[in-house]
Structures are given as structure tokens and as C-alpha cells.
Amino acid sequence: MSQIDVSNLTFYYEGSSDYIFENVSFSIDTDWNLGLIGRNGKGKTTFLQLLLGNYEYKGNIRSSASFDGFPYQVPTGDLERCGAELAEEWKPDSESWRILCELDRMGMDAEVLYRPFGTLSHGERTKVMLAVLFSGTHDFLLIDEPTNHLDQAARETVKAYLAGKKGFLLVSHDRDLLDACVDHVLVLNRQTIEVQNGNFSSWWENKSRKDAFSRMENEKHLKEIGKLKKAAARSRQWADASERSKIGFDPVKVPDHKAKRPYIGMKTKKMLSRVRQMEQRIGREIEEKEGLLEDIEEMVDLKLMPLVHHKNCLVRADGYGLGYKKAAGPVFEELCFSVCQGERVFLTGENGCGKSSLIKAVLANRSEEREYEFEKLGLAEKGILETASQMTVSYVNQDTSFLQGGIREFCKERDLDESLFCAVLRQLDMERIQFVKPMEGFSEGQKKKVLLAASLLTPAHLYVWDEPLNYIDVFTRMQIEKLLLSCRPTMLVVEHDVRFREVIATKVVDLKKQPGR
């Protein structure tokens, strides 16, 4: 057990005037299972990179611990190499038998370690990397979003595996994973950093209470400041009127006016003293008020404008099968489901069972050049897939790599009102400074927010979202949950966040992975 002491840490990216961290100090323990929580762009991944020594910074990070991090980087040229070979480079001091033991704890066969890494699924790659990561004995491990792109079964495996481990820092926006695996949280608030005992839910409950108390205190101070300002204004008016009354006496009507002048002056002085005392109290009240709301997460209500179609059923599949022409067999067969207006249909199943392929088929089915679109995608189908005619679809792609250039060019390309688009991004808590930066420099969470904002601004009959919450922070997830429950759009969604699905889905369609695939 050792401490990691961070003192006066300051860091910003070269060429940027924005501080990621500015004079922050805190201490954490390497014996903890620590969850790192914060908004997109607050510096979670950056902090992991600082611990790993990949960036220069000002201030101090002191620890006797050594660090290792997930995920390991795999260049395209290394995808043909097997995991056992790559492990020797990822963790030179690891021993094969330890890696095999860790794989066994995740229910994985040893043979996965000797297959070309590029042939492994997302879940298999994650498990191999975690097995290598935990095969050491002395490192404090830094784990960055291990469940992105994983199906529910793989997520459950990773969750159970991490819950049995000790001594790591986990960056994740999956509330279920954080609750199961961490015993402390390190929270990057808006203005401060806090370390707290417990998991996500216990921290969120404490934060909700603290925020409610801060709002009440803020309201109390505002009322007190208002009263003091009114009293000070009244007293100043009386003092001014009194001061003016010292001159202009009529000697006939007020023969002893000279005796009154000192009395009036003394009275005015007392009134002005009262005004100064009130102003000092106002200053103290303002001081007490400052900072009360600095860390409150104000999740602004989002808006959505779903369209109503003349047909009730927008998508229908009957005995539908789908595969790829160059593949040996179908991805799935005999699928029957429908998406009717007002329904939020979630597709679930193992990685590779055809969820994204089905979404591509639904999108291609609407095209006037349907056959050409299916040919271009290399899809082979059988059975019935129907989509309503003249149906407008708003699509969020799981891939963000195509986002390049500026916000203005993106809005022109999609025919979006730039000012409205930026307003929605602000509601999703993206800083204004990001609007002038090229999107390829955005974090993955910020890129996903760009796609979500575009979808929210597109009036549509059907919203098709393919893994929309990958890299999205927990606050924005709750914000989107509230929006969808309020507006009740018709949706076809692929999303592995269990809590999100439990709250939002009106129907779940489970695509079973076909034998031999």
C-alpha cells in the first residue's frame, strides 16, 4: 500500500490556452479500487497519461508505485501478431502462466492468446489486454473505459473480473460497472476535485443532498442580500434628504436654523454609517454565497421534435435473415420484429450477432436505390424487411472517425442552423472554446456529442442510434434519459448500458448469434 500525492498539478495541451488542471492537489491510495468520474473533456484520460509519464506537467506527482495502463496500443501492422507475442512488449516482466490464469478467471480458453490479434472480437481483445495487465504483481493499474463496444455478456464478465481485483483506477461512464467494482471515487467537478469513499451511487446520493443544501443556502443568501440592499438604499435616500435639508432655511419661518444644522449633520453621519455597515454585511453575504453553486451539475432540459407518420408501423421484419456475401453463413435468420410509433426498440445480443448490420439494412431499405445500397454494403438477405415510405430517419453512427474540420462546415454539410447547433452543444456541456477547434482534436465523448446534437436537431419519424453512449459522461446519459422519457420518440437503438436500456426501452429484441459464426 502506498500513496499517490498530487500537489499543485498544472497541465494544458501545447497550443491551447485552456487549462486541463490548474494548481490541483489531492491524495489517493494504491490499495483502493478507485473510480474516476467527470464530464467529457475534464481530463480523466489526460490524468491517466500524466501518471504514465506520457506528458510533461508543472507541479508534483509523488508515488513509490509503478503504473501500467489499459488499453495497450496496437498499431495496424501488429494485428497479424498473436496476443502472446504482443504481451511480451506490453508487459515485458509478465509470465505466460499468469496470463493464462487471468484468462481462465474470465472464462477464456488459452487458444485465444495464440490467434492473430486482428481476428479477435472487441470482447476478446479487451479480455486478453486485461489478463496481461493483471498478470503483474506490483503495478497500480490505470483502466480507461474497458466496456466500450462490448456486448452485455462481455460487460458482465469484465464487471465480475474487476470486482474481484484490488488496486486500480477505473475510468468509466457505466454506472453499473462503477457500482460493482469501485470502493472510492475521484471526482473531477466543475471547479474542484474531491475524493470520497463509496461507489457511484453513494457518491451521487451524497452529491444530490449537498447540491440541494447548496441551492437552499444560495436562495437564503440571495433573499438576505436583497433585503440589505433595499434597506441600504432607503437609508442612503434618507441621508441624502437630510443632508439637503441643512441648507435653504427661511430665517423668518425658522429663526433657530443655525442650531439645527449640527443636529442634522450628526443625524446624516449616523445614517451614512448604517449604510456602510449594511454594505459590509452585503459583502459578507456575497462572500458566503460564492462557491455554493460552483460544482452543481445543471443538466439543462433538452428538446426533441419527433415527427408523426401516417403509418403506425415504421419497420417490420418477418422471417428475415441477413449475412455478408463473402462470409460462409448468415449472421442471423428467421428474425421477426416491428417498430411502431412511440416504441423505443433496443437490439441486444453478443458482439457479431448482427445488430449494426440490421441497422445498415434498415437504412438501406429506405433508399430509392435499395439494391445498389445492399450491393455496396455486401449484404445478402432473405425474408421480409419493410420500412414505411417517405419516412425521415435521424441516424447516430457508432463510428466517429469521419468527423473532421470545423463545426461550421459540419452544419453546412448537414443543413443545420449553426447557432442552434452550438446552443445544443452548450446544453450538452461542451465548452464554447471547442466550437472554433477542428473536430479531429475533440475527445471521443465530445465527438459523440456532436453526432447526438445533430440528431436532436433533426425532426424525424424514426431515430436510429447505434451505440450512442460510448464515451458519453454519466451526467449527459441521465440528461438524455430524461429527454427520451419526456418526448417519447420512435427509436431503434443498439446500446449496452444496462441502466439506460432498463429506463428507456419499451421493447427489447435479442439477436442470437448463429452457430458457427
Does residue 258 belong to any structural domain of this protein?
yes
- Model pLDDT for residues 139-186, shown as the tens digit of each residue: 899 999 998 878 888 889 999 999 999 999 999 999 999 999 999 999
| β-strand partners of 11 | 21
Looking at the structure, tell me whether residues 285 and 350 fall in a common domain: no
> Alpha helix locations (H) across 441-515?
444-456, 474-487, 498-504
Q: Do 267 and 338 sit in the same domain of this protein?
A: no
Residues 120 and 265 occupy one common structural domain: no
The answer on pLDDT for 11 being more than 70 is: yes
Domain boundary among 200, 223, 247: 200
CA–CA distance, 448 with 453 (Å, rounded to integer):
9
Q: What's the rounded Cα separation, in Å, for the pair 344 and 325? A: 31
Q: Is residue 297 part of a domain?
A: no
Confidence of residue 346 (pLDDT cuts 50, 70, 90): very high
In angstroms, the CA 282 to CA 290 distance is: 12
Cβ-in-10-Å burial (0-12, 13-18, 19+) of 517 comes to middle
Task: Give the least confident one: 204-218, 240-254, 364-378.
Answer: 240-254
Q: How would residue 333 be classed by pLDDT, with cut points 50, 70 and 90? A: confident
* Residue 303 within any structural domain of the chain: no
84 contacts: CB under 8 Å, gap ≥ 6: 96, 99, 113, 114
Residues 247 and 354 in one domain: no
DSSP 81: S
Question: Which single residue is written with the C-alpha cell 474487476?
Answer: 162
Asked if residue 170 is part of any domain, the answer here is yes
Domain at 180, CATH number: 3.40.50.300
Same domain, 135 and 250: no
pLDDT at res. 182: 95
What's the CA gap between 289 and 219, in Å, rounded? 9
Q: Domain check: are 158 and 61 in the same one?
A: yes
Q: Of 242-256, 293-307, 458-472, which gets the smallest average pLDDT?
A: 242-256
Cell of 266: 450628526
Nearest to 12 by CA among 27, 1, 23, 25: 23
Closest to 335 in 3D by CA, of 317, 316, 355? 317
- Retrieve residue 305's grid coordinates: 421534435
Domain count, the chain: 3
At 1 the pLDDT is 61
In this structure, the answer to whether residues 281 and 356 fall within a common structural domain is no
Same domain for 179 and 58, yes or no, is yes
Residue 277 and residue 334 in one domain: no
- Flag whether 308 is in a domain: no
Domain membership of residue 474 (yes or no) is yes
Q: Which of 166, 200, 234 is the last residue of a domain?
A: 200
Note the pLDDT of residue 514: 46
Residue 126 lies in a domain: yes
Comparing CA positions, the residue from 239, 236, 260 lying closest to residue 248 is 260
| Same domain flag for 157 and 257 | no
In a domain, 294, yes or no: no
Mean pLDDT within 338-364:
90
Q: Tell me, yes or no, whether 24 and 137 share the same domain.
A: yes
Question: Would you place residue 515 in the very low, low, confident or very high pLDDT band (cuts 50, 70, 90)?
Answer: very low
User: H helices then E strands: how many in the chain?
Assistant: 15, 17
Residue 227: the pLDDT is 73
The parent domain of residue 333 ranges over 313-510
pLDDT tens digits, 252-282? 555 554 455 565 666 667 766 776 777 777 6
Task: Find out whether the peptide bond into 255 is cis, omega within 30 degrees of 0.
Answer: no
Residue 373 confidence (pLDDT): 85
Examine the fold and report which residue of 200, 228, 249 is the final residue of a domain before the chain moves on. 200
Q: What is the pLDDT of residues 76-124, one digit of tens each?
A: 889 899 999 999 999 988 888 999 999 999 988 889 899 899 888 888 8
pTM: 0.76
The 10s digit of each residue's pLDDT in 277-296 is 777 776 666 666 666 556 66
Share the mean pLDDT of the chain. 86
Do 347 and 224 belong to one domain?
Answer: no
pLDDT tens-digit profile of 431-451? 888 898 899 888 888 999 999
Q: Using an 8 Å Cβ cutoff, are 450 and 439 in contact?
A: yes
